[in-house]
Chain A
């Protein structure tokens, strides 16, 4: 699972008011190279929750994203776009867990696939 997906995912447990962002417990991170596409990055940028992305990238061991939500003018900077690209599309949580911020319920991640199946009493 990439941080792009993490940035969209929220805990879906019944009764949870704010299930975003899911905390990341890391056992193993891998990197896979993806073609750089600035158009995609510019298009997705306004939909990204910046704080959550920064936090997530740190828990994955990457600390080069600016803390503050960048101005959209940053999208003209190749240096910024490359970092954004790397964090969003190239870092994978391979093994670990996603943790619901409200209930502490863990969604295990195996072979890069988060198990988001809910128990019957969570639906």
Chain B
């Protein structure tokens, strides 16, 4: 895909009033999102007893995915970071409750209360660092950790994603596995470049036979086993996609790695529990060229 929206601007900027309206008035998009949501709901495999459940729609946008949940009788809570998208959802009088929030900051929900979660075309956004303080790995961790906690045991979460690369898929799947989820990737129409669709099907709770992802390829678990402490700089950046910012902006953000940067990195490593020497006046001081 040439024009990946994630590479253009942060979501709350990209989905402004104009884009939100454009997105939601395209009958092609409405149709695609409805189909993806139907499939995600099917993959949630809720008990077939006609009882409406409480579901989450993460990155609910203008409510296209949530409408599918309502049509199937469920109650839902939608979370999105774009006020413009949520405004359109209000206009469309969606039946779910809407929250303005950033999934990368974690979900503020009580433990064990949600019966299932879907997220349609949204989670790949977490792989970008949109602010200096954004660390995709930490944001994915906060997100999946909090999602795991708020789901009822045995509940599922289904994410339709457009990963940019194999590394990005593994970054997302790895974060989910570390949070305790079992499951893997389901690919629909793997041989068609046009209709190929990818779903991450995750189950909350210890792995069991039934928590294996339904038909379709199951994710390569080996690639997900790198542990927290191995988060060295090189390893980390491989997976994080570089947004193609205009030249001018790049200059500003690339201004040398000064003392502040070093202190921040040291703090990050400390938070991960690594042994890091204390900060002193010598930290990141300029060194004279020798020889």
CB <8 Å contact, B75 and A89: yes
Interface residues of B in 125-176 (CB under 8 A from A): 131, 133, 142, 146, 150, 152
In the assembled complex, the Cα of A40 lies from the Cα of B75 at a distance in Å of 9
In the assembled complex, the Cα of A1 lies from the Cα of B97 at a distance in Å of 5
Q: A4-B54, A43-B51 are in contact. Are A19 and B102 (CB under 8 A)?
A: no
CB <8 Å contact, B110 and A8: yes
Cβ of B219 < 8 Å from any Cβ of A? no
Q: A5-B77, A39-B50 are in contact. Are A113 and B100 (CB under 8 A)?
A: yes
Cβ of A114 < 8 Å from any Cβ of B? yes
Q: How many residues of B contact A (CB 8 A)?
A: 35
Cβ of B107 < 8 Å from any Cβ of A? yes
Chain A proximity of B113: nearest CB distance (Å): 5
CB <8 Å contact, B90 and A112: yes
Set of chain A residues within 8 Å of B110, measured between Cβ atoms? 7-10, 20, 49
In the assembled complex, the Cα of A54 lies from the Cα of B139 at a distance in Å of 35
Cβ of B101 < 8 Å from any Cβ of A? yes
Report the interface size class on chain A: 20 to 34
> Using an 8 Å CB-CB cutoff, how does the interface string of A23-59 with B read, 1 for contact, 0 for none?
0000000000010010110011001010000000000
Chain B proximity of A118: nearest CB distance (Å): 5
Set of chain A residues within 8 Å of B54, measured between Cβ atoms? 4, 8, 44, 47
Complex partner residue of B98 from A44, A113, A117, CB under 8 angstroms: A113
Cβ of A2 < 8 Å from any Cβ of B? yes
CB <8 Å contact, A47 and B101: no
CB <8 Å contact, A116 and B101: yes
Complex partner residue of A2 from B73, B97, B113, CB under 8 angstroms: B97
Chain A proximity of B63: nearest CB distance (Å): 12
Set of chain A residues within 8 Å of B51, measured between Cβ atoms? 39-40, 43
Chain A proximity of B131: nearest CB distance (Å): 8
Chain B proximity of A13: nearest CB distance (Å): 8
CB <8 Å contact, A11 and B77: no
Interface residues of A (CB under 8 A from B): 1-2, 4-5, 7-12, 19-20, 34, 37, 39-40, 43-44, 47, 49, 89, 111-118, 120, 123
**With contacts A10-B110, A11-B108, A43-B52 known, what are 5 further pairs, Cβ within 8 A?**
A5-B99, A112-B98, A116-B108, A117-B100, A117-B102
